[in-house]
Amino acid sequence: MTNPLLSDWNTPFELAPFDRITDDDFAPAFEQALADHASEIDAIAQNSAPATFANTIEAMEAAGEALDKVLSAFFTVAGADSNPAREALQRDFSPKLAAHSSAISSNKALFARVAAIWEARDGLDLNDEQQRVLMLAHRGFRRSGAALEGDEDDRMKQIMGRLAELGTAFTQNLLADERDWFMALTEDDLTGLPDFVIDAARAAGKEKGSDGPVVTLSRSIITPFLQFSPRRDLREIAFKAWAARGANGGDTDNRAIAAETLQLREERAKLLGYPSFAAFKLEIEMARTPDKVRDLLMAVWEPAKARANTDAAVLTEMMHADGINGDLEPWDWRYYAEKRRKAEHDLDEAALKPYLQLDRMIEASFACANRLFGLEFREIDVPLYHDDCRAWDVTRDGAHVAVFIGDYFARGSKRSGAWCSAMRSQARFPDTQTPVVINVCNFAKGDPALLSYDDARTLFHEFGHALHQMLSNVTYERVSGTSVARDFVELPSQLYEHWLEVPEVLAEFATHAETGEAMPQEMLDKVLGAANFDMGFQTVEYVASALVDLAFHDGDAPADPMAKQAEVLEALGMPHAIIMRHATPHFAHVFSGDGYSSAYYSYMWSEVMDADAFEAFEEAGGAFDPAMAKSLEDNILSTGGSVEAEDLYVQFRGRLPGVEALLKGRGLAA
């Protein structure tokens, strides 16, 4: 019987045939596809003909199609619908993939061919995108250690294999801690909680096999519980469990993994001739150097900390007025901030939520994409990996553009957070392929499903990433979609969040779940007026995480990351009642792989641009100005990584932005 992962996918839009794939199919398909790709690479490296762009660079681009298909299907389910079998496969695949990657990047014959083309590039009549792809290929070999010899070459392979193992273990430990902990609630414990929190707790209890409602470590449940529960003792228990993920001792403790990861990253950087891992990592980002990153973060830190300290004093007074003496604690902040928001802005999230139905917010994100870029969305019935998933055929002027998949609900088999990935990226070489893009979120189920305002913003954020993939218009997959500098990749996603706050969008799509009536103008005004509420807290918890990440990687790796974390926070004067958004043992951005290592700052770097970019729309004629929308697509969304990020932004805006737009946007400007 043919393995469905290795056969032709004669499915609508050539989607993975999830209805025919079983967990038993993954390992044999992976081994076969891995071997086939290795043979393809070997044939390119051993080609006796002189190296050309076509027989080397394009041949590498065309190789590995079967492996791409297998891995896209596997990693989709491993992240969003895990089980013990898939976790075991991930532990097996990760070091093998790392070894395979190392074998390619350290292939001396292959590197020699790429280097020969690079040296001859000026006489090859390559177009701009081909020159960019060649540069990235050459740079990739150099940065992965292709020039290393002997023991250093062997050691680099060992390091990369071990880092892959550690990243997988970190992720699975975190998922286990999030999946296994829950706190049962009695009916009395529900007092004071809005109906949407109670409904989510009951649904979570059913999933956990409990007789009654529970609080889990899903952000969509624990955050509103901390906001609304008047039971300080229960808030403390829940908060401490949330903060302790990955640091509970035993088999799922991530602290030793973090320490070893940092040591190996430093060794990797020094083998390649860099003074630190941060110097290595940032060389290819817009920021370029650790000092530039630190300057940006500190420019935001001081005004954010001042705002947070002022807010903490107000919340402490509120707590004392409730008869609770002592210091404001981290499990108190969200509760009193919510009470303050209700008092100062007369904005009650429990009253707001019925206006933020998931289905209506999906419609809103689609409608904005239609007005800006002419995209149309038609829901389709195709086999997907979980019943929660939905899919849409995306078209423009009647022509198929992409398939978009949404997987919106929290469940125990899904890792926390929200993300966008391409199960297939756009490209025109070796054949034309249209993208298959997925947004994964962790919203609480309900009938109907209701979102917080932060949830709605997350939905728009991830859809901004999806647009970057769907509107890509390049020849080579290497530079397709979100294949851009890490501190540029968040620009399209953070920029798209602004359209949620456009009054006419909320007026049309923020309709009440029961009455169908539009959000009252008075409430809409309060929502927009409170957009920067508690921004000191939000900025401090984020920037603290980014500064700790940078400190871990800029200089000698700390033997004890927890001690280093404490040292950095003390030096910053971290407010007592706020903790890092992602403490080290659950900092998956940084330790599940090296994507955001030394680069967690990139959300803020991109925010400097997104605040400035949305100002361009406002200056031109409004949020849906057609000329600005076309410029955004032509200069940023369609170009992927085919041009340097800095040049793309200057083409769009005419200049690079300063930090002032960000401080103004966050309400932190002096």
Q: How do residues 469-502 score in pLDDT, each as one tens digit?
A: 999 999 999 999 999 999 999 999 999 999 999 9
Residues of the chain with CATH 1.20.1050: 12-105+107-147
* Encoded tokens for 41: 């690479």
What are 518's strand-pairing partners? 511
Report yes or no: 537 and 334 within 8 Å, Cβ to Cβ.
no
| Beta-sheet pairing, 436-443 with 419-424 | antiparallel
What is residue 214's predicted lDDT score, i.e. its pLDDT? 97
**CA-wise closest residue to 5 among 35, 25, 23, 19:** 25
- Mean of pLDDT values over 48-56: 98
- Mean of pLDDT values over 208-234: 95
What is residue 315's predicted lDDT score, i.e. its pLDDT? 98
What is residue 569's predicted lDDT score, i.e. its pLDDT? 98
Using pLDDT thresholds of 50, 70 and 90, give the confidence band for residue 17. very high
SS3 (DSSP) at 376: strand
What is residue 212's predicted lDDT score, i.e. its pLDDT? 95
Report yes or no: 199 and 226 within 8 Å, Cβ to Cβ.
no
SS3 (DSSP) at 423: strand
* Encoded tokens for 25: 């199919």
User: For this structure, is 462 an active site residue?
Assistant: yes
Catalogue the long-range contacts made by 44-50 (C-beta closer than 8 Å, 24 or more residues apart): 44/110, 44/113, 45/107, 45/109, 45/110, 45/113, 46/109, 47/113, 50/116
Report yes or no: 410 and 445 within 8 Å, Cβ to Cβ.
yes
Report yes or no: 64 and 121 within 8 Å, Cβ to Cβ.
no
Spatial separation of the C-alpha atoms in residues 53 and 137, rounded to whole Å: 11
What is residue 334's predicted lDDT score, i.e. its pLDDT? 98
pLDDT of 1 higher than 80: no
Q: Which of 40, 266, 462, 477 is catalytic?
A: 462
Report yes or no: 301 and 572 within 8 Å, Cβ to Cβ.
yes
DSSP label at residue 355: G
Percentage with pLDDT > 90 across the chain: 96
What is residue 661's predicted lDDT score, i.e. its pLDDT? 83
pLDDT of 190 higher than 80: yes
**78-90 residue pLDDT tens:** 999 999 999 999 9
Report yes or no: 649 and 487 within 8 Å, Cβ to Cβ.
no
SS3 (DSSP) at 349: helix
Distances (CA, A) of 368 to 376, 380, 436, 511: 10, 20, 20, 16
* Encoded tokens for 240: 């401490």
CB atoms within 10 A of CB 204: 24
pLDDT of 670 higher than 80: no
**CA-wise closest residue to 225 among 325, 350, 316:** 350
Report yes or no: 470 and 393 within 8 Å, Cβ to Cβ.
no
**393-430 residue pLDDT tens:** 999 999 999 999 999 999 999 998 999 999 999 999 99
Residue linked to tokens 């509970």: 248
- Reported as half-sphere exposure (CB side, CA atoms, 13 A), residue 476 has a value of 24
**582-616 residue pLDDT tens:** 999 999 999 999 999 999 999 999 999 999 999 99
Residues of the chain with CATH 1.10.1370.40: 354-529+603-665
* Encoded tokens for 48: 């006796």
Percentage with pLDDT > 70 across the chain: 100
Residue linked to tokens 């004629």: 621
Using pLDDT thresholds of 50, 70 and 90, give the confidence band for residue 349. confident
Residues in contact with 560: Cβ distance below 8 Å, sequence separation at least 6, in sequence order: 259
Average pLDDT value for the chain: 96
Q: Under CATH, to which class is 12-105+107-147 assigned?
A: mainly alpha
Cα first-last separation, the chain: 69
Report yes or no: 226 and 318 within 8 Å, Cβ to Cβ.
no
The burial of 383, by beta-carbon neighbours within 10 Å (0-12 exposed, 13-18 middle, 19 or more buried), is given as middle
What is residue 468's predicted lDDT score, i.e. its pLDDT? 98
The type of residue at 34 is L
DSSP label at residue 387: T
3-state secondary structure string, 260-326? HHHHHHHHHHHHCCCCCHHHHHHCCCCCCCHHHHHHHHHHHHHHHHHHHHHHHHHHHHHHHHCCCCC
DSSP label at residue 638: T
Backbone angles phi, psi at 564, to 5 degrees: -65, -40
CATH number of 354-529+603-665: 1.10.1370.40
**491-536 residue pLDDT tens:** 999 999 999 999 999 999 999 999 999 999 999 999 988 989 999 9
